Amino acid sequence: MTQNLDILIIGGGISGLLAARELRLAGRDVAIIDKSLAGREASWAGGGILLPIYPWRQADAISKLATASIETYPQLCRELHQATGIDPEWRDCGMLISQNPDHAAATAWCERYAIRHQTPPTDLSAGLHADWQEPLWLPDIAQARNPRLLKSLQAWLRLQGVEFIENADITSLTIRGRRAVHLQTADRTLAMRELVVSAGAWTANLLNALLPEQALDLRIQPVRGQMLLFEAEPETLPCMVLDGDHYLIPRGDGRILAGSTVEQAGFEKATTESAGRALFEFATRLLPALKDFPVAHHWAGLRPGSPDGVPYIGPHPDIDNLYVNAGHFRNGLVMGPAAARLLSDLLLKRATALNPSPYLPKRLPPP
């Protein structure tokens, strides 16, 4: 069975889904293929904070994608909710950062990117036991409930005629000249005009296996992150709190997420008792009220780690119709809309709002 497609996207996480939306809005026909179910890997497992962790300590290329994306999220979530009835739960509940030894760099970053910032009101710290050091309050920073955002995106794409090919085992990719022409799975052949690889932590391994003669210098590796969910009540915590390397995120229904670990564990996605205990101790120390609520869930996800967290976005240097959008590390959600727009602009040969140079995939250097 051979199926002819316009644009095929490998990977049904937030990056693949948002790219599919951009391309569908541009009038292109799109299909998404995934090794399991769409939206069930790192995009589902994250916390949904729409701000990089301490962005002033990260590469400028991350800030440019993140701040461009932040501006689009309110309208994106409204449109998805109206079209599908599934609320992504965008909430501008604000972010309280307890420790800022680099306070000057933080405020300079906020001013550069027009992020409102101030000394925290005293009522925000009520009930929190932190080691306060130059605390910073970012009142406009929002979150999205990532599992619901993923559901609403999938529903919107299905309404627009995007095909999902799930639980698919990709076995080979045929190249003719400078074009990818056929993707082979266990039960079908997929012919496509354009191919986008957005397979998260699996991207580098997949491309190296499919294209050993045209290898890219994609230093993407899995980085495990574990989180806890407390079955708390509404108003237990009014805002997101970043304390050192960990955070608390209050959902609209009162549940509170505590995260997260950063572990080099290969492709092992299992949770560990030690990480669960450490997250519990962090959460209940910072917010002692959480001792009164049960832990409802403990899970893990595999982030697509990359050097400095800067994603790879753009065309393959040797295959004219093959594109990459992967390696977003901890910021797939917050960089997602702008990354998808950049990828789509490059694929559709449109002018780009951002300079693509920092993100372009490169050939693997010769041995």
> pLDDT tens, 129-175?
999 999 999 999 999 999 999 999 999 999 999 999 999 999 999 99
Measure the CA angle with vertex 328, ends 189 and 299; round to 5°: 90
Token duo for residue 232 = 């708390």
pLDDT digits (tens, 9 = 90+) for 249-261: 999 999 999 999 9
- Which residue reads 């800067």 in tokens? 310
What's the pTM? 0.96
> 85 with 79: CB under 8 angstroms?
no
CA–CA distance, 227 with 260 (Å, rounded to integer): 5
Do 204 and 265 meet the contact criterion of CB atoms below 8 Å apart? no
Per-residue tokens: 72: 């689009």
User: What pLDDT score was predicted for residue 364?
Assistant: 83
- Taking only the tens place, the pLDDT of each residue in 247-300 is 999 999 999 999 999 999 999 999 999 999 999 999 999 999 999 999 999 999
Taking Cα atoms as reference points, which of 250, 201, 238 lies closest to residue 221? 201
* 33 has a pLDDT exceeding 90: yes
pLDDT, residue 145, reads: 97
* Cα 130 from chain centre: 28
Residue 133 three-state SS: strand
- H/E stretch holding 136 reads strand 136-138
**pLDDT beyond 90 at 303:** yes
Across 204-230, average pLDDT: 95
* Residues 228-240 pLDDT 10s: 999 999 999 999 9
Residues paired with 248 in a beta bridge: 241, 258
Query: Average pLDDT, stretch 306-315?
Result: 96
Mean pLDDT of the chain: 96
Q: What is the pLDDT of residues 36-77, one digit of tens each?
A: 999 889 989 999 999 999 999 999 999 999 999 999 999 999
In sequence order, what are the beta bridge partners of 100?
A: none
Q: Which amino acid is at 132?
A: W
- CA dist., res. 50 & res. 237, Å (int): 18
Mean pLDDT of 96-115: 96
Write down the pLDDT at residue 2: 80
